[in-house]
Amino acid sequence: MNQTHLKNWTRINRQSKAIYHQSQILLVTMVIFNQAYAGTHQQSIKAKSPVHENPPIAIKPVELAPIVIERRATDLLGIANSASQGVVGQAEFKNRPLSRVGELVEVVPGALATQHSGSGKANQYFLRGFNLDHGTDFTVYVDGIPMNMPTHAHGQGYLDLNSVIPELVEKIEYGKGPYYAEIGDFGSAGYSKMYTTQKLTQGLLKFTGGEFGYYRGVLASSKHWGDGDVLIGSEFNFYDGVWQRPEDTNKYNGIVRYTLDKGDWGLSLNGKAYHNRWTATNQIPERAITSGLLNLYGTGDPSDGGESSRYSVSSHLWRRSDHSKSELDLYALYSDLDLYSNFTGYIDTLNGDQIQQKERRIQAGGSVEHTHYDKLFGLDMDNTIGLQFRHDDIMGLALNHTKARQVFNTVRQDDISETSAGLYLKNETRWLAKFRSIAGVRADFFNFTVNSLRLPVNSGSSNAALLSPKLSLIAGPFYESDFFINLGEGFHSNDARGTSINVDPVTRDAVSRVSPLVRSQGGELGWRTQFVQGLTSTLAGWWLQSDSELVFVGDGGTTEASGQSERYGIEWTNDYKPNDWLSLDADFSLTTSYFTGVPQTEGHIPNSVGRVVSAGATAGLPYGVFGTVRLRHFGDVPLNEAGTAWSGDTSIVNLGLGYQQKSYKIAMDWFNLFGSTQNDIAYYYGYRLQAETAGTHADGSTDGIIKHPVEPRMLRLTATVSF
């Protein structure tokens, strides 16, 4: 970016901050004023349009043509609250080649899902210049259950989507930025909400076989039972992988869902089960590959891997009338993880550096919200009140040193209780026929209780609270276009162990505690247009600041300092359907990320992705033939603060071809069509190979690029039968 552009962005940032702080006063005034005369309401994409499973009934009913969610081109003019908010239906990704289920988040423009370990571990996620690790600032809900795990054995906000069966996902809603009152913890960069289909019009039997020992099967069917519908689905997935040490992945999923829709009220009940076991190949030093010591797909420790389970029950109850709508979600789940990882090799020359991270968790919670549609001083307005609550009991949360999965030293072992509650108010007022505002405020409360079993001095209890205002101004449609100004504050919680820590569990040195809740502030200017027939295009310029913080590092069992940061960028998304048989899409995301308050030579944020491009074409040809091709590109990724190490660009092309008739479909998917050997993910830190006798550091390690390549070209064949 040249100096002129940098100066312009600096000026825009200053103006955005001034507008932001002024808007907080306006926001609170509007909320108090409207709440004094009106009821309460939640306004989201779901509650505003037929996109939602249960849309509200307007005070003055207007008959609308039904909206079928097929692609991001779904008409959201006058409905969406920001340019970066959208919804995607099953039709968009049912023929998209998915090498792993985590890639479902890539329907969010600018989002990436990569992997640096085995298939059973949560993906690494990237969005808006954030290395989200496994989910720290990107939150996902599946059928009302928050999927991010706070105070997790491996990483804060751990987001594992392996329990999702893609064929049974009816739609995915998404939004970016901290502008939505109903989104709380882990939502600074954005959110995604996935919904399981109520029923299948036909049963589904699907089998996939592919190179490198890949086998997957899905069986699902629906049946009308009583006044409702029962959906039963199951999945298995076996995979050896491309690595010299086979993954031997064994994954199983199951779901039973009952749905009842009585017109003005309804409910759904869900039971889900997931289990996975795998061997992992983690990232390895680039110098070991170039020297020939390790193969590109070789491993540093062949005993890495893990085992994970998740079992959940949940319910959703809704009711609507001419003037209001209410929703209630309740859930309970059990999950566990036993994970073995060796990230640094053999600094411990006798035993190696493998660690075990394990936990067992019982989680329960829910949400309730009430919507009321009002009219005050001749203005239509919707008011929302919502309450979200969650409790996590985390038992046997342990960090151990292991050798070939055998424990020889315990670093930390804790039992933890974490409880949170979020209350939000939101008002939407339609001031003019083509101008509306959405003002909201959110209050979050947290309690952390840590019982440190190995080191009692690190036990303790603490409380934290945070108030987050939100404001959106929307004008349009003008010439089939909407214009948006969005401002808001968000946050993510920190690991409970960091809120009570006093001494490093390894060195016994005194350490600082983390801030329990880390605030972020952001703004966005956006434009959404459907002026050109068949084309939906959005353009957004955004800015996001994260406060200075201390971060608890689960891999080390202690805290690590991190400075204040700022990010800004431009996103341009396009979805074009020129005719009834061809769909085209292209998304471009450019981001600048940097630490503030430090010298420019130390300001790079490691693993902040600066450029993401995603593009594709899907064609439905005569005689049941279909095809899809997709490009996935990312680059401009610094690996250290000094900017002396970079990951390099990665570009992957996937191709799918198939033939479909009424009751069967045959498809061929080629992943990484051109055989790229570029990085899926890379890091820069100290590593010691088993054969190395010394390094540049006193502990024998040597700093360098540690990487995990994309998987090579592979072919998978799928046969699907409907019954």
The domains located in the chain, with CATH, are: 3-722 (2.40.170.20)
Residue range 100-126: mean pLDDT, rounded: 93
Can you give the pTM of this predicted structure? Answer: 0.88
**Cα–Cα distances in Å, from 153 out to 157, 416, 435, 486?**
10, 11, 47, 35
Across the chain, mean pLDDT equals 89
For the cut 80, the answer to whether the pLDDT of residue 5 exceeds it is no
For the cut 90, the answer to whether the pLDDT of residue 538 exceeds it is yes
pLDDT digits over 342-371, tens only? 999 999 999 999 999 999 999 999 999 999
Contacts of residue 563, defined as CB under 8 A and 6 or more positions apart, other chains included, come to 548, 595, 596, 597, 598
Residue range 521-530: mean pLDDT, rounded: 97
Element (H, E) at 46: helix 45-48
62-76, 268-282, 299-313: range with lowest mean pLDDT: 62-76
Which of the four pLDDT bands, split at 50, 70 and 90, describes residue 662? Answer: confident
Which of the four pLDDT bands, split at 50, 70 and 90, describes residue 247? Answer: very high
Write down the pLDDT at residue 135: 83
Q: Do residues 272 and 254 lie in contact, with contact meaning Cβ atoms separated by under 8 Å?
A: yes
pLDDT digits over 201-231, tens only? 999 999 999 999 999 999 999 999 999 999 9
131 vs 426 pLDDT, higher one: 426
12 vs 613 pLDDT, higher one: 613
For the cut 80, the answer to whether the pLDDT of residue 258 exceeds it is yes
How far apart CA 383 and CA 30 sit, in angstroms, is 11
15-29, 199-213, 550-564: range with lowest mean pLDDT: 15-29
Q: Give the amino acid at 631.
A: L
For residue 185, how many other CB atoms are within 10 A of its CB? 24
Which of the four pLDDT bands, split at 50, 70 and 90, describes residue 554? Answer: low
Q: Do residues 353 and 342 lie in contact, with contact meaning Cβ atoms separated by under 8 Å?
A: yes
Residue range 402-408: mean pLDDT, rounded: 97
> Across 554-678, where does the E strand assignment appear?
558-562, 565-579, 582-595, 611-620, 625-635, 650-660, 664-671
For the cut 90, the answer to whether the pLDDT of residue 484 exceeds it is yes
Pick the closest to residue 577 from 608, 613, 536, 538 (CA basis): 536
- Burial code of 671-686, b = ≥16 C-beta within 10 A, e = fewer? bbbeebebbbbbbbbb
49 vs 344 pLDDT, higher one: 344
Write down the pLDDT at residue 122: 93
- Burial code of 506-531, b = ≥16 C-beta within 10 A, e = fewer? eeeeebebbbbbbbbbbbbbbbbbbe
**What does residue 102 show for φ and ψ, rounded to 5 degrees?**
-60, -20
Write down the pLDDT at residue 696: 87
Does the CA dihedral 576-578-580-584 come out positive or negative?
Answer: negative
For the cut 80, the answer to whether the pLDDT of residue 14 exceeds it is no
Residue range 495-524: mean pLDDT, rounded: 93
125 vs 553 pLDDT, higher one: 125
Q: Do residues 473 and 491 lie in contact, with contact meaning Cβ atoms separated by under 8 Å?
A: no
Residue range 440-463: mean pLDDT, rounded: 97
Which of the four pLDDT bands, split at 50, 70 and 90, describes residue 66? Answer: very low
How far apart CA 693 and CA 714 sit, in angstroms, is 38
| Cis previous bond, 516, omega within 30 | no
For the cut 80, the answer to whether the pLDDT of residue 71 exceeds it is no
Write down the pLDDT at residue 549: 66
Cα–Cα–Cα angle for 197, 203, 206, rounded to 5 degrees: 95
